[in-house]
Structure 1
Amino acid sequence: MSLSPHTRPLNAEDAAHFLRRTAFGATDEQIRALVGKDARTIAREALTFSTEAAPDNPFNPAQGATPGAMIQLTRGQWLYELLYSPQPLREKLALTWSNHFVIGTDKVRNQPSLAAYLALLRQHAATDRFEAFTLAVAQSPAMLRYLDNDQNRRGKPNENFSRELLELFTTGIGHYTEDDVREGARALSGWTFTGGRGNQRYLEAAQFVFNPRQHDAGQKTYLGRSGRLGGEDVVHLAANHPQTATFVSRKLHRAFVNDTPDTQAVAGSAETWRRTSGNVRAVLEELLSSAVFYAPTHRASIIRSPVEFLAGAVRSLGSPRLGPKQLLNLAQTAGKMGQLLLLPDTVKGWDGGREWINDTTLLTRMQVAASLTLGGNAPKLETAPTPLALLGRETPLPGTERLNDRQRTYLTLISPEFQLA
């Protein structure tokens, strides 16, 4: 069965919960603006995106004097969007998809390729056709380079992308065979790109091309289908495999509901996925307005990632403007806490959950909180954030009532309650 809806109008804590999950965080005013509204309506509105960027972004990666400088500017540019975009759910989903369709700047060091990859994540953030999203990523120079399909040719197949297409992007482990991986690689042979190779051409645009001379046009059998299959065929079969609905729905539940998703709830989203032929927008609209999403047992059940911690803190403080140097430092600090944008630990992405938290990363979170509240360069706050903005509830942390605004805000940002969304 599909997920049951949340039927009552939102109260203040419901609204705070919604914005903590979909916008990283929000001010008291932004939260109270949703009170009394219908859950389905606000989910639908939040999922209505445009291509609008946050105004006054100070970073232009094309101005990077070296590949390394370009990558740093790319991270700074994205972090600015995460902190200040007027469409935070789009950025939250882009961050989520970057941990699904993983690429890394250890291999992808080309500015147009990175920009195009991020543009795809935003364009398809709430796609109505997961297959189209998967195909667009598969043909992106960033993915072709990262998983070596540009080296995949007839007689010398490279299986890296073919394997991850199944293991990490669609069906998950246990629903394909090694023969499927080999046959998929044959079908994907000849998919490559031109331009943008090498450290001297890091600003040159790369372009997907199909090279028929490198393609294996022979008979293949893949996921039970036989014929002269090509790359589009294997993407279609993998993206529409019945198990893909469950595999990707579970990731969406991890991102928005609970670090340990409920199997029955995931099955409900998977049913909607199959019924709508992979309409991610429909799955998300139902999920973000469901009784499961708003259930008390699923609140404060997701450990914020380093980037989500940064975005949540800044947005809860009212989005004070930080300088370019501060933003670049924060992007690097996120890496020290375990989440360097565009460079996940492995091809399977960041594990998340309890893996985000250890003695070192907690200390770094405390240092970040201090820099935003107590330090000499801490942003000036027009209004102190309320407990509703910081904690999702009306009452402050016990023992903080007599502290000044900055001390109370600092202690709240380092509290276990704030680390959870």
Structure 2
Amino acid sequence: MTLPPHPFPLTAEDAAHFLRRTAFGPTDAQIHALVGQDARAVARAALTFRGQGAPDNPFDPSQGVTPGAMLQLTRARWLYELLYSPEPLREKLALTWSNHFVVGTDKVRNGPSLAGYLTLLRTHAATDSFETFARAVAQSPAMLRYLDNDQNRRGRPNENFSRELLELFTTGIGPYSEADVHEGARALSGWTFTGGRGTRQFLEAPRFVFNRQQHDDGQKTYLGQRGAFTGEDVIRLAATHPQTATRVCFKLHRAFVRDTPDAEAVEGSAATWRRTGGNVRAVLEELLSSAAFYAPEQRSSIIRSPVEFVVGALRSLGAPRLEAERVLSLTQTAGRMGQLLLQPDTVKGWDGGRAWINDATLLGRMQLAAALTLGAKAPRLPAAPTPLALLGQAAPLPGTERLSAAQRTYLTLISPEFQLA
């Protein structure tokens, strides 16, 4: 079973829906450029990444004179890409994967490690091999440090990464036992890194190494199979386990379809995953052009995260250029609303959904919307965004027709309808 395709050329509201989900927020010109096109062709084009970054990104983490300053510049550099990258779906996927293969700056305080981690998330954003992606992340100094596998050695296995590999990154709870966690740790022993350790080396680039002397090369039993397994072997067995398809596809549906995914639709994507050997690009191309994605009941069914709110608002305003200091401030604004980039709440990531919304975070969204529309330093726009760009529908919010453009935009940004993508 696979997901049936959306059978019609895209309408303006279809195009707005696609861009609100895949590009954070569209302009009218971007919407109308997709009208009349085939859904599969639109999805395929959006997933064709050329590795283009945002031009003139002013933030350079290597200029940070302390670990704290480096982290602020790293977050600001990423937010700038989220705001201005010509490939917003790549950044949306990087944000999604950062909430799956979680690392946090509470432990990872090395600039090149974080830069390398973000590069991996972008490079493999729509990977044709989830196994390759998982192995690359597992060998990244950022993950090795965050989940302590750099401390994993023969005779003294550290099980932190081995556990999360199964529980969070691949199969989920159910298909594995505590014995699998232990045996997996044995197989992953000796994976470590050199360089970039300590507070004074926060700008020194670390490098993955396999320390053969620290590796347990004995026989192991893992997920029902036996052999002298290596780290590569357990990554392969976990990443290609049938249940991994369902678990990761559930997360992709939660990112792009609805906060509470439909089990039958998820299983349709999982069937494509298994048939293609974990080809995430194939799964996404099918998903983003499916009847399930475009179904009326799926519209406005995802609560925007704080970062998605910030980026969606500015991209819908036409991505006006902000001063570097303001972009830097917006990373902290998103953090106060519950989503500090590269610092999820726990190793399982942000819960998302209704957890994003409470009295304090709603007030933060209202204050930001006011600053972007009514404040003295609000960006100057050539034209106000239309309801189609902001809400995915042609009709304005009732009662806003007689207001000024700035007032109408402000009320739209704080409306429940805009909080939902």
TM-score, normalised with respect to structure 1: 1.00
- Cross-structure match for 1:209: 209
- The share of aligned pairs that are identical, in percent, is 77
Displacement, 1:51? 1.5
The AA in structure 2 aligned to 1:222 is Y
Displacement, 1:252? 0.1
Matches within 5 A, 1:37-186: 37-186=37-186
Matched, 1:408 2:375: no
Matches within 5 A, 1:162-311: 162-311=162-311
The AA in structure 2 aligned to 1:161 is F
Matched, 1:375 2:364: no
Task: Provide the C-alpha distance between the structure 1 equivalents of 2:175 and 2:399, rounded to a whole number of angstroms.
Answer: 53
Displacement, 1:56? 1.1
Task: Give the 3-state SS of the residue equivalent to 2:182 in structure 1.
Answer: helix
The AA in structure 1 aligned to 2:293 is F
What are the Cα deviations for residues 139-180 of structure 1, in whole angstroms up to 9, with x where unaligned? 000000000000000111100000000000000011100000
Task: Provide the C-alpha distance between the structure 2 equivalents of 1:392 and 1:271, rounded to a whole number of angstroms.
Answer: 31
Task: Provide the C-alpha distance between the structure 2 equivalents of 1:175 and 1:72, rounded to a whole number of angstroms.
Answer: 40
Displacement, 1:122? 0.2
Task: Provide the C-alpha distance between the structure 2 equivalents of 1:269 and 1:327, rounded to a whole number of angstroms.
Answer: 37
- Cross-structure match for 1:388: 388
Task: Provide the C-alpha distance between the structure 2 equivalents of 1:326 and 1:418, rounded to a whole number of angstroms.
Answer: 22
Task: Provide the C-alpha distance between the structure 1 equivalents of 2:314 and 2:107, rounded to a whole number of angstroms.
Answer: 31
The AA in structure 1 aligned to 2:408 is R
- Cross-structure match for 1:21: 21
Displacement, 1:225? 1.1
Task: Provide the C-alpha distance between the structure 2 equivalents of 1:324 and 1:156, rounded to a whole number of angstroms.
Answer: 47
Displacement, 1:298? 0.6
- Cross-structure match for 1:363: 363
Task: Provide the C-alpha distance between the structure 1 equivalents of 2:123 and 2:116, rounded to a whole number of angstroms.
Answer: 10
What are the Cα deviations for residues 227-257 of structure 1, in whole angstroms up to 9, with x where unaligned? 1111000000000000000000000000000
Give every structure 1 segment of 4 or more consecutive aligned residues whose post-TM-superposition deviation is greater than 4 Å: none
The AA in structure 2 aligned to 1:45 is A
Displacement, 1:50? 1.5
Task: Provide the C-alpha distance between the structure 2 equivalents of 1:63 and 1:183, rounded to a whole number of angstroms.
Answer: 42
Task: Provide the C-alpha distance between the structure 2 equivalents of 1:215 and 1:50, rounded to a whole number of angstroms.
Answer: 38
Matched, 1:397 2:404: no
Matched, 1:336 2:336: yes
Task: Provide the C-alpha distance between the structure 1 equivalents of 2:173 and 2:131, rounded to a whole number of angstroms.
Answer: 19
Task: Provide the C-alpha distance between the structure 2 equivalents of 1:206 and 1:229, rounded to a whole number of angstroms.
Answer: 26
Displacement, 1:321? 0.5
Q: How many residues align?
A: 421
Task: Give the 3-state SS of the residue equivalent to 1:393 in structure 2.
Answer: coil
Q: Which structure 1 segments of 5+ residues have no match?
A: none
Displacement, 1:29? 1.0
Task: Give the 3-state SS of the residue equivalent to 1:221 in structure 2.
Answer: strand
Task: Provide the C-alpha distance between the structure 1 equivalents of 2:118 and 2:108, rounded to a whole number of angstroms.
Answer: 13
Task: Provide the C-alpha distance between the structure 1 equivalents of 2:257 and 2:53, rounded to a whole number of angstroms.
Answer: 27
Task: Provide the C-alpha distance between the structure 1 equivalents of 2:78 and 2:299, rounded to a whole number of angstroms.
Answer: 28
Task: Provide the C-alpha distance between the structure 1 equivalents of 2:315 and 2:51, rounded to a whole number of angstroms.
Answer: 21
- Cross-structure match for 1:8: 8
Q: Which structure 2 segments of 5+ residues have no match?
A: none
Task: Give the 3-state SS of the residue equivalent to 1:226 in structure 2.
Answer: strand
- Cross-structure match for 2:324: 324
Task: Provide the C-alpha distance between the structure 1 equivalents of 2:412 and 2:404, rounded to a whole number of angstroms.
Answer: 12
